[in-house]
Structures are given as structure tokens and as C-alpha cells.
Amino acid sequence: MAVLAEQESGSAARILGAARELVLKRGVKGLTVAEIADRAHVAKGTIYLHWSTREDLLVGLFGRDFMASLDESAARLAADPEVARPSRLVPMMVQSTVEHPFIRALQTEDDDLLGVLTQHPRSAKLLETLGPAAMVGVALPVWRRHRLARTDWEFDEQAYALQALLVGFLNTAVERRTLAIISVREPSRVIAAAVTALLGPEEPGPGDVRATADAALAELAIKRAALLESIGK
């Protein structure tokens, strides 16, 4: 089973911490392995013991933000199955994106922070398979099956509308745009209401919410294992 480098090596943990600090402070552009090594107080060659290239290190750093988000979501679902409801899960995804800087940067294609890695194939793959819109696409069939979303709408159209709604809220939250003369104290409540207006009222039967949460936890475990395999060793 793959493990993360920092789980076995204190130097790897320091390298990741240094890389994260430097990227968040000044962005990826011009950042060198030598600078990261200097900040982590390790020899330059030590970095190459864990990562073959600078890009491997940095994309691995981004992947760890996704892993943290997956783990947080799983913990919340395990503690409270009601989180699996669309009106709870979608606002949580928006908030999670805001709280994880590399997911946020990939979502908004932040060239200032990520530089060429914004369009790197591995970065794009992370967002494509683990980004908020992708996760909603996985969740929608489960919601439909368990009477948490209307089924009188063609799936592809419904998924498109839901992902467009989510991306709009994500970009608004991340970029802190001012929406002409509108001030909202509880954005999560507004997001929940918008999701309910789009998907219809949640009318689960006995056991439907629990089954939805179990399905979500199973999917998160699959996603986590695949991510660990791609960024671990």
C-alpha cells in the first residue's frame, strides 16, 4: 500500500512544509528546488530522494490539499449522515474549496500562484477527478436514487445545471466578488436554498439518508486510495 513520504521521513515533512510556505508566499514562478531545500534546511539532493522533479513535489503538494479535503468530508459524513443531503453537502464543498488554497487556486486557474502548473496535466487531472464539480457529478445519481433530488429531469441536463450552479458559487466565494448592492450574511444558507430550488425538495424515505452517506463514504475512500497511489510511494 502506498504511503506519503512525510509519514516515513521527517525531512520529507520539512520539505513539504517549506514548499507550501514558499508557494503561498510568492507563487510557483521562479521557485527552485535549491530555494525549497534551503528553507527546509536539507541538502538539495535530499529532495530528489523523495521526488524526481520539482513538478512532482509541487503537484504532490496540491494533491495533499485534496486529500485533506477528502478526509475532512469523510469525517463529517461519518459523524453526521445528514451531511450527505444536497442542501448540506454542496455548501460544505464550497467552504472546503475556500479553505484549501491549492484547490482554490486550481479552481480559479490562479496563474499568479500556480504559474505553468495551472495547466499541468497532473494538476488538471486532480481537479477533473477530485474537484467539487466532479464530486457533485458522482453524488447526483445517488441523490436521485434516494429521493434527495428530482428525477423528472434528464440526468445530463440536471448535472450540467447543478455543476454550473456550484462553479458559480465557488467562483463568487473564492474571488470575493461584490454582487451589485447585495450583501448576504449567511452564504451557506443561500447556497442550500439554491440547490433545493434546483433539485427539488428532499423527500428521503427511511434509511435513504444513511444509505446516501454510506455511498458517499465508499466513494471518498475509493478517491482517496487512488489519490494516495498517485502521490505516495
Count how many domains the chain has: 2
Q: Residue 152 in 3-state DSSP? A: coil
Distance CA 83, CA 39 (A): 40
Domain membership flag for residue 8 = yes
Measured between alpha carbons, how far is 18 from 177 in angstroms, rounded to an integer? 31
Cα→Cα distances 122→58, 79, 84, 157, Å: 10, 32, 29, 28
CA angle 226–230–231, rounded 5-degree value: 120
Q: Which residue has 539532493 as its cell numbers?
A: 45
Q: How far apart are CA 72 and CA 205, in angstroms?
A: 27
**83 and 127 inside one domain:** yes
Give the pLDDT of residue 178.
47
**pLDDT digit of tens for each residue in the chain (233 aa)?**
788 999 999 999 999 999 999 999 999 999 999 999 999 999 999 999 999 999 999 999 999 999 999 999 999 999 999 999 999 999 999 999 999 999 999 998 999 999 989 989 999 999 999 998 899 889 999 999 999 999 999 999 999 999 999 999 988 887 665 454 566 778 899 999 999 999 999 999 999 999 999 999 999 999 999 999 999 87
Q: Are residues 113 and 197 in the same domain?
A: yes
Domain membership flag for residue 169: yes
Angle (CA) 158-163-167 rounded to 5° is 155
Residue 180 is assigned to a structural domain of this protein: yes
Verify that 5 and 92 share a domain, yes or no.
no
Do 184 and 74 belong to one domain?
A: yes
Residue 45 C-alpha cell reads as 539532493
> Phi-psi bin for 51: left (phi > 0), alpha (psi -120 to 50), beta?
beta
Range of the domain at 91: 64-231
Reference 100, options 123, 67, 78, 133; nearest CA is 67
pLDDT at 232: 82
- Give the helix, strand, coil percentages of the chain, each rounded to 5: 75, 0, 25
Q: How far apart are CA 71 and CA 100, in angstroms?
A: 13
Q: What pLDDT score was predicted for residue 75?
A: 98
Residues 42 and 71 in one domain: no
Regarding whether 44 and 69 lie in a shared domain, the answer is: no
d(CA 78, CA 84) in angstroms, rounded, equals 10
Cα 164 from Cα 144, distance rounded (Å):
18
Cα angle 179-65-16, degrees, rounded to a multiple of 5: 130
Same domain for 177 and 94, yes or no, is yes
| 35 and 134 fall within a common domain | no
- What is the SS3 assignment for 111? helix
Residues 31, 118 share a domain: no
Residue 83's pLDDT is what? 97
Residue 56 lies inside a defined structural domain of this protein: no
In this prediction, residue 31 carries a pLDDT of 95
Task: Indicate which CATH number applies to the domain containing 7.
Answer: 1.10.10.60
Whether this model's pTM surpasses 0.85: yes
